Amino acid sequence: MATVRIKDHWREQRLFETRAVFATAFIVLLTMMLLARLYLLQVVRYDYYFDLSQGNRFRNEPIPAARGIIYDRNGEVIAGNRPAYQLELVPELVPDVKKTLQSLVAIQLIRAEDVDELLRTIRARRVFDSVPLRVRMDDEQVARFAVHSFEFPGVNINRRTTRWYPNGGLAVHALGYVSAISEQDLAHIDRAAYAGTALIGKLGVESAFEQQLHGVNGTREVLVNAQGRSVERQGVIVPKMRTKAPVAGDDVILSIDLKVQRVAEEALKGHRGAVVALDPNNGDVIALVSQPGFDPNEFADGITAADYRTLLADPDQPLFNRAIRGTYPPGSTVKPVLALAGLTYHLVNPEQHRVCAGVFYLPGVSRPWHEYHNEKHGYVDLDTAIVKSCDIYFYGLAETLGVDRIASFMGPFGFGKPTGIDISGEKAGILPSREWKAKNFKHPADQMWFPGETVNFGVGQGNLTVTPLQLAHYASMMATRGRNYVPRLVTGFRDPSGALHRIAPKYQGELKGIAPEDWERVHHGMVGVTGCGASGCGTAAGIGRAPYVFAGKTGTAQVFTVATNEKYEARKLDERLHDHSWFIAFAPADAPRIAVAVIQENGESGAHAAAPIARKVLDAYLLTPDGKVKPAPAETEPEAAVKPLDPAMAAPAQKQAEVPVLEVPRLHTTRQLRPPGAPAGRGSTRAQLQAALDHRRS
């Protein structure tokens, strides 16, 4: 029987060899791929993965730049920095952020009411950013955290600097304040630039010049352990770590004179109101006061929600900047500009006397307009009307001028528009006109302009409103005979190298079309307001004689309308319904160095409330400690010698020919009351008016 071979060894051998070749090739291929990958990782991308590996034990920690210091014009520190211990959290190193915050509340290191806001801020930050939880910690709080630190991975105490206001609330509404960066702030700032930064400017100069004050943050490498805490070494190895130094913010130089600011705030203390003092020769803000105020250190250190609610609920509104946001009727302080309008349009004869019998009527109108306190001044001319603040005279003058002339003449003096001061939040006030009324009222009956509204213009009532800053700016323009400078708080910067960069004043031009003798006459009347002369004693004569001659104008602004058949009796009214007290002034009258506007809310007569405050401000600025008038300051250094910091910050010096000219509008005049060829006022030449000023000075 033939043998049958079931197994083919030769075929199996060939199959095995084939498989072995393929397996060997596959193994060799995998080995080559592995070697190629190793070469890529270890050679080609060595630097990349080295940096990643270092990240497992190194952390880049931001070094916040020192915030720029703010000085007054004399070099006194208004806002500085001081060291502080700050509690911070790095989100990526914290297992449970919400639980960690609740645990910190339990040991009284953060407040329970702050947890929700902190959570929102943490979520808005990058996970590797260090987020401040508490801006300032005292020694007891630092010790308490040290005891519990092992319970809080990713939470550390770092040495930082925090904002410090050595004078408390002094000049706070000009200065503003800094506070913790909120979720809303993160929406409009460069988060990388603010990494590790706890505070940001919120109002005033601190906010408007945040970019210059903030500086540029640095970074440093920090060795960390598995829990994310910084350590000095790991084992015996002390690695070399890189550091990029921060660049401090620029110091800011203000125009504020803290001596004058202190006097103004002390004079207004206990009252609601505002004081603004300007240098009429360049627009510098010498003092900017709004009372009551608040202590910005509370915000810098982290104000509690309860304390903030208390500030918001205070009926006196300490957070409200009355100086640039408060709008009030200007009262009789507008009478000088109305007198100037009457003279310029030749619609008033300054020598002509009018009878003040205590009441004024429009032709065909039975409604009376009364003199303040129902006084009767008898026969008054323009000079006496300013000195005595005769309402009846200016009711008639306003009617003669008409609303169109008044609105167009007052506009170039800054009424009805912001002055352009270099901090935000300024209100424009209202300069009413036919066009304004048609635009701002819906019903046709309300859009009509009534003759009685023009009469109210004569005493600064009705819809006309101004801010204290606007009125100080107006007083400044009156002082310099129409020269218009934009008010400013910041006059320069000092960079970290110590170089000083000044900002040139912004000159807006000069009013043209007003005769020098008309300026002289109105100035003469305003000087008469502050003393006694041929027209009798002025409304502000009671504040006493000064070693210098100064011009002024009192004003009393009604808070509510008194019916024609009713009598205003302050003693029967709530204090907040009393009239507002105004006073504007500039001094010295012949070479003005300061212009002031003061309002005391519900202070009644301008002569008795606001005028004494203004006198203290003038004295503080103009007099030496022994009561003598300071010599006039030296001329400002030439702009060519000033190095501008930024073209957007510093206006370039302009040639005189390029300075804009503000023309006083010339409307059609139908009446000519000044006799042809007659001098500007009261039968006097300019030389005679100057002689009267000299006599007043002596």
* pLDDT given at position 91: 87
Confidence of residue 680 (pLDDT cuts 50, 70, 90): very low
Q: What superfamily would CATH give domain 258-311+322-697? A: DD-peptidase/beta-lactamase superfamily (3.40.710.10)
Average pLDDT over residues 634-656: 37
Catalytic positions, please? 332
pLDDT digits (tens, 9 = 90+) for 272-317: 999 999 999 999 999 999 999 999 999 988 888 888 899 999 999 9
Mean pLDDT in the chain?
Answer: 84
* pLDDT given at position 319: 95
Cα–Cα distance measured from residue 403 to residue 409, given in angstroms and rounded to the nearest whole number: 10
Q: List the domain boundaries for the chain.
A: 59-224+243-254, 258-311+322-697
* pLDDT given at position 1: 53
Confidence of residue 579 (pLDDT cuts 50, 70, 90): confident
Average pLDDT over residues 444-458: 90
In CATH, what class is 59-224+243-254? alpha beta
CA atoms within 13 A on the CB side of 9: 1
* pLDDT given at position 562: 64
Confidence of residue 664 (pLDDT cuts 50, 70, 90): low
DSSP string, 50-84: HHHHHHTTEEEEEEPPPPPPEE-TTS-EEEEEEEE
pLDDT digits (tens, 9 = 90+) for 103-136: 898 888 888 888 888 888 888 777 877 788 888 8
* pLDDT given at position 50: 65
Higher pLDDT, 352 or 17: 352
Share of residues in the chain with pLDDT > 90 (%): 50
Cα–Cα distance measured from residue 399 to residue 378, given in angstroms and rounded to the nearest whole number: 20
660-674 in b/e form (b: 16+ CB < 10 A) is eebebeeeeeeeebb
The yes-or-no verdict on residue 674 having pLDDT over 90 is no
Q: Is 544 exposed, middle or buried (0-12, 13-18, 19+ CB in 10 A)?
A: exposed
The yes-or-no verdict on residue 591 having pLDDT over 50 is yes
Mean pLDDT lowest for which of 133-142, 181-190, 216-225, 528-537?
216-225
* pLDDT given at position 233: 53
Cα–Cα distance measured from residue 324 to residue 423, given in angstroms and rounded to the nearest whole number: 9
**Among candidate residues 89, 93, 97, the one with its CA nearest the CA of residue 116:** 97
The yes-or-no verdict on residue 580 having pLDDT over 80 is yes
The yes-or-no verdict on residue 660 having pLDDT over 50 is no
Share of residues in the chain with pLDDT > 70 (%): 84
Cα–Cα distance measured from residue 483 to residue 511, given in angstroms and rounded to the nearest whole number: 6
Higher pLDDT, 618 or 445: 618
Distances (CA, A) of 607 to 386, 526, 582, 600: 14, 13, 8, 11
Cα–Cα distance measured from residue 192 to residue 265, given in angstroms and rounded to the nearest whole number: 40
Cα–Cα distance measured from residue 412 to residue 27, given in angstroms and rounded to the nearest whole number: 91
Cα–Cα distance measured from residue 74 to residue 39, given in angstroms and rounded to the nearest whole number: 67
* pLDDT given at position 373: 72
Using an 8 Å Cβ cutoff, are 641 and 504 in contact? no
